[in-house]
Structure 1
Amino acid sequence: MLEHKKSNPLIALLGAAALLMSAPAMAATAAAPTSAAASVAAPTDTAAPAADEATTEDSSSTAAAPHAANVDFVSMFMGATVVVKLVMTLLAICSVISWVLLIMKLMDFSSLNRVTTNYLEAYRGARSIADINRISVSDEFAGNPLADMAAVATEEVQLSKQAGLSISGEHRDSVLHRAQASVAAVQAGLAKRLSGGLSFLASVGSTSPFIGLFGTVYGIMNSFISIAQSHTTNLAVVAPGIAEALMATGLGLIAAIPAVVMYNIFNTSISNYGIRSEQFVSELINSLSRQLDKGA
């Protein structure tokens, strides 16, 4: 018993020494997982700025996309070559003139038909050649083609009468013939007056597409030259030039289509008024012949 109790302190001393010797190793083992965790976390921290940079680049590219797509007529016109600019300017001027002619001709035909209707009502109420002349030369119907026709025809009859000719006898036919010649002269002037501006509309309608096509060909030619000079086939290099070139063709169609439509409308209006004037001439000559037969 005594020997056992004496040996206990020795065993305790040996155990303490073993613990002191194993403490550094245990500390190193405990630190190893911490270092590994730190090494795993480090790439994550390093990758975070890269992800931020990628997000920034994506946001900047997204923000730049609307700016790149913001292409309008003015920007394409300002970026076009001198020849294409001249073509587009010429087509724009022709289009504006065509619309001005449209407004003027519409107003002219509206006024012409209204005054003509009023004149025919007054003319059909006349009872003699003198009444027809008085109505035709009045300020109310001044400048109306039908009133001018009736005025020159009745003036011819009055001039023949003042010359002492037998207008209701042997000179009746010659008086009517001279009256018809005077009316024909007014009709010729009427045709010239009503057809004013139609030649311009016809020219714009027939040539504008080809003028625009010339601008397109020239612009696309410059785009291919840019490809050769830049040594690249990137579409972004040639797309602006091609868009500007195609805009010239678009302007040519914008100028041509309304001009053709206007030409057809006014040509029909002129034909309709021509038929109306022909009917009036027949009515006028019949009225003069009847008045001459009555001995007016």
Structure 2
Amino acid sequence: MNPVLATDPATLSPIALFLQADWVVKAVMLGLLAASVWTWAIIVMFRVKVGRIRKASERFEADFWKADDIDAFYKANGQADLPSARVLAAAVAEWRRSTHGSTIDREGTRERLATAMGSAVAKEIDELSDRLNVLATIGSVAPFVGLFGTVWGIMRSFTSIASQQNTSLAVVAPGIAEALFATAIGLFAAIPAVIAYNRFSHAINRIEARLNRFADAFHATLSRQLDAER
């Protein structure tokens, strides 16, 4: 790197703006860059995870509704690492507990099945949403952290004016440039986080709706089987 670029106040090089910044603004920039890297890591991992779950769940549910024997299907596929499989497992476990005795409380069994599957759906959605709070936090906080760096840089510029008793633009330009650069990094971290949070929230809502439809349909199947029990 050309050493002149690192110290030339007129350059717009990001490296030069960082190197000539005050240590407080440098800390803000580094924190925002770390938040940006964390954001993109979550975005990539979450996108891959949601895509895998969506495709695998479609296959699982299609195979389930084609199966003639629920018990046989559960033995073969009930341990799959899928939200739909865990909802199925919760329903089967509750069904076995509720129909184990000689007498069956049909209404109570229906309520317990609905509660068990509803709890399983809620647990799956909570686990899927675990990293969304990080995106929401970065999206809402990063602009204000960048603004703090901006305010600090502008204060440093005014301090330079006071100490040098010189109102020339050359005196205040470096501080203002680094201040605005901190704001830009804050937006660079926040905008992808907000967009990803909104998109992934929509994706999770769709997964939740799919799980609820699966749970309702399976509950109806078990309810009909209850009516056939003597």
TM-score by length of 1: 0.71
Deviations 1:166-216 (A, max 9, x none): 34xxx2222222222211221121121111111111111111111111111
Identity of aligned residues (%): 38
**Counterpart pick for 1:99 among 37, 40, 53:** 40
**CA distance in 2 between partners of 1:199 and 1:150 (Å):** 28
Deviations 1:62-113 (A, max 9, x none): xx9xx95544111111111111011111111111111000011101101100
**CA distance in 1 between partners of 2:102 and 2:76 (Å):** 25
Task: Give the letter for the 1:258 counterpart.
Answer: P
Question: Is residue 92–residue 255 contact of structure 1 (8 Å, CA) maintained in 2?
Answer: yes
Q: Look up the SS of the partner of 1:124 in the other structure.
A: helix
The one of the two structures with greater contact order (alpha-carbon pairs below 8 A, sep at least 6) is: 2
Task: Give the letter for the 1:165 counterpart.
Answer: S
- Partner residue in 2 for 1:90: 31
- Partner residue in 2 for 1:180: 114
1:231 matches 2:165: yes
- Partner residue in 2 for 1:58: none
1:113 matches 2:54: yes
Q: Look up the SS of the partner of 2:102 in the other structure.
A: coil
Deviations 1:120-152 (A, max 9, x none): 1111022344235324414xxx12111111112
**CA distance in 2 between partners of 1:221 and 1:160 (Å):** 70
CA pair 166-130 structure 1, distance change in 2 beyond 3 A: farther
1:152 matches 2:90: yes
Structure 2: give runs of 5+ residues left out of the alignment: none
**CA distance in 1 between partners of 2:151 and 2:70 (Å):** 66
TM-score by length of 2: 0.90
Root-mean-square deviation (Å): 2.0
- Partner residue in 2 for 1:137: 78
**CA distance in 1 between partners of 2:111 and 2:183 (Å):** 55
**Counterpart pick for 1:258 among 180, 192, 195:** 192
- Partner residue in 2 for 1:74: 15
Question: Is residue 166–residue 172 contact of structure 1 (8 Å, CA) maintained in 2?
Answer: no
For this pair of structures, how many residues does the alignment match? Answer: 225
Structure 1: give runs of 5+ residues left out of the alignment: 1-63
**Counterpart pick for 1:126 among 67, 81, 91:** 67
